[in-house]
Amino acid sequence: MEFQHILFEVEDEVGVITLNRPEARNALSEEMRGDFDKLLPWLAAEAGKTVKAVVITGAGTAFSAGGDIKGMKSRATATTYDARARMRASHHRMYDVGHLELPVIAAVNGAAAGAGFCLALAADFIVATPRSRFAASFNRIGLVPDWAGLYYLPRLIGLQKAKELVYTCRLIDAEEAKQMGVIYDIWPEEGFLDRAKAFARRFKNASTEALGMSKNLLNQSFETDFKTMLELEAMAQSIARAGDYHKQAVARFVDKQPPLFNWEAMAKEAGGR
């Protein structure tokens, strides 16, 4: 596959997506959105085969400044209906990022603002450097959050804090973002991307199928009633029990062999959590 405004490679079963418009602080151009539309179905098809986890990062000194404001100016004459159709056509993109049945790590190496912030929120884990900054900056130009920001943000940090960030558009640094629960951890700038890739590689020996089903059900849990959730759990567990990974893991336990997937041991090796 050829891309215009992203770079993509698979390293040791980790897919690495780099937003690649450093001269525009990785603003989400139409070309970049099209690149995602080509890549995401491929990742979904390769989940658990050639790719076991995904890292999303940005080239240069920013993760993503958000929407391409210059591009917005060129679309200023579009009708309301055209604008709505364009937004609706992009909905699948954020659904596909947030529901990809693989662990997704957003490695935020600078500013993540507007839709760039929302893209990071769609990941399972956000890690950041100490200089990273986050902002739900839409209201600065008279817009409301999109790219599923109004869905992900209150679920991550609660309704009142989400309202604060959306209403004020204020920048939060990495420390405050961690305290709020926006990000998973803060790592030094030196070797940051390598550490994010190493974090993603910890999932190589996990059951992609079980992780994928767990992610799918967790994503539904806020809107699903208790009884339905139990039924979904029963269905997923029946599928997982019939899988080769579960059978091999039980056999290793009975034979007193170490488990293939041991997060604590891998974290100890990596010197982190």
| Span 73-98, pLDDT tens digits | 555 567 888 888 888 877 888 899 99
Average pLDDT over residues 91-110: 94
d(Cα 24, Cα 116) in Å, to the nearest integer?
Answer: 12
pLDDT at 81: 85
Average pLDDT over residues 203-207: 95
What count of other Cβ atoms lies within 10 Å of the Cβ of residue 86? 12
Average pLDDT over residues 134-160: 95
Q: What is the DSSP letter of 163?
A: H
Listed in sequence order, the residues at least 6 apart from 19 whose beta carbon sits closer than 8 Å to its beta carbon are 5, 6, 26, 28, 32, 56, 57, 58, 59, 63, 64
CATH code matching the domain that covers 208-270, chosen among 2.40.30.10, 1.10.12.10, 1.10.940.10, 3.30.1360.70: 1.10.12.10
Quote the distance between the C-alpha of residue 180 and its chain's center.
18
Quote the mean pLDDT of the chain. Answer: 93
pLDDT digits (tens, 9 = 90+) for 4-38: 999 999 999 999 999 999 999 999 999 999 999 99
Three-class secondary structure of residue 6 per DSSP: strand
Domain ranges of the chain: 6-201, 208-270
Give me the CATH topology for the region 6-201. Answer: 2-enoyl-CoA Hydratase; Chain A, domain 1 (3.90.226)
**Structure-token match 């030094």, residue found:** 188
